[in-house]
């Protein structure tokens, strides 16, 4: 009987000891607000604010459809800025976003919004061709065009994707490698270097985290 008791204690003690160890809390993605970012990335009117929701917007996609905040209602979505004739970072951005598209191809809760910063050239026909060449799925990945002033407004005041430059010259194309992750509540949850395959993997992992919340 005594041997059985000792054996029982030997079995139970390691289990009880393990259960008593404090567990690390699961990592929760941060919510980025203007106060969390460098002031040169934030529009002067927003500097220091501790809350931020992506503002309403309206653009046209490669299919000629209007895409607004209602399109992404209760969705997780990713944003980048590109132009179809870009010979440098946009190629890497698009190739890495193809990995994101592939990872969530069958998940209707994840969308991609790519804003063209060259609307004079990137009309609907050109965006359609770009989508076809890059195997972009129209229902998953929206290539957006619209007035450059609106694109700059969203880049600066919505997504903090570029430095806030007063009187930005519309002839000077926005160039940024930043990819922005937005949650179902239109809050910024991550900023990634879209030219990096490693950070693209982090992005995919973080999207999966948001899907699990």
CATH for 73? 3.40.30.10
Strand 58-60 with 188-193, pairing: unpaired
Would you call 60 helix, strand, or coil by DSSP? strand
Number of domains comprising the chain: 1
User: For 102-137, what is each residue's pLDDT tens digit?
Assistant: 999 999 999 999 999 999 999 999 999 999 999 999
State residue 26's pLDDT score.
Answer: 64
Residue 8 inside a domain? The answer is no
Residue 21 inside a domain? The answer is no
User: For 42-56, what is each residue's pLDDT tens digit?
Assistant: 878 888 899 999 999
**Ranges under pLDDT 50 in the chain:** 5, 7-10, 12-18, 21-23, 168, 171
Contact 186, 212 (CB under 8 A): no
Residues in the chain: 213
b/e code 17-42 from CB counts within 10 Å (16+ = b): eeeeeeeeeeeebeebbbeebeeebb
Residue 15 inside a domain? The answer is no
Residue 48 inside a domain? The answer is yes
Residue 7 inside a domain? The answer is no
Helix H or strand E segment including 2: helix 2-20
Residue 83 inside a domain? The answer is yes
Report the predicted TM-score, pTM, of the whole model to 2 decimal places. 0.85
Helix H or strand E segment including 116: strand 110-116
State residue 116's pLDDT score.
Answer: 97
Residue 19 inside a domain? The answer is no
Sheet holding 188-193, edge to edge: 141-144, 110-116, 76-82, 178-182, 188-193
State residue 22's pLDDT score.
Answer: 47
Domain limits at 88?
A: 29-212
DSSP letter (8 states) at residue 211: H
Contact 155, 127 (CB under 8 A): no
CA distances from 15 to 3, 18, 19, 21, 134 (A): 19, 5, 6, 10, 53
Residue 11 inside a domain? The answer is no
State residue 1's pLDDT score.
Answer: 55
State residue 55's pLDDT score.
Answer: 97
- Rounded CA gap, 118 and 81, in Å? 10
């Amino acid at each position: 009987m005594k041997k059985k008791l000792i054996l029982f204690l030997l079995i139970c003690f390691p289990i009880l000891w393990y259960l008593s160890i404090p567990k690390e809390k699961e990592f929760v993605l941060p919510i980025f607000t203007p106060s969390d970012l460098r002031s040169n990335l934030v529009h002067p009117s927003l500097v220091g604010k501790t809350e931020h929701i992506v503002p309403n917007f309206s653009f046209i996609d490669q299919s000629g459809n209007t895409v607004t905040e209602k399109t992404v209602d209760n969705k997780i979505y990713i944003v980048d800025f590109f132009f179809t004739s870009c010979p440098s970072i946009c190629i890497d951005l698009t190739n890495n976003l193809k990995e994101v598209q592939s990872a969530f191809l069958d998940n209707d809760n994840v969308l991609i919004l790519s804003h063209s910063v060259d609307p004079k050239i990137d009309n609907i026909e050109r965006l359609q061709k770009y989508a076809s060449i890059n195997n972009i799925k129209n229902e998953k990945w929206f290539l957006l065009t619209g007035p450059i002033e609106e694109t700059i407004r969203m880049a600066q005041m919505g997504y903090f994707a570029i430095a806030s430059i007063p009187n930005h010259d519309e002839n000077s194309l926005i160039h940024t490698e930043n990819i922005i992750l937005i949650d179902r509540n239109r809050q910024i949850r991550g900023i990634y270097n879209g030219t990096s395959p490693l950070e693209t993997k982090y992005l995919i992992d973080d999207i999966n985290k948001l899907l699990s919340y």
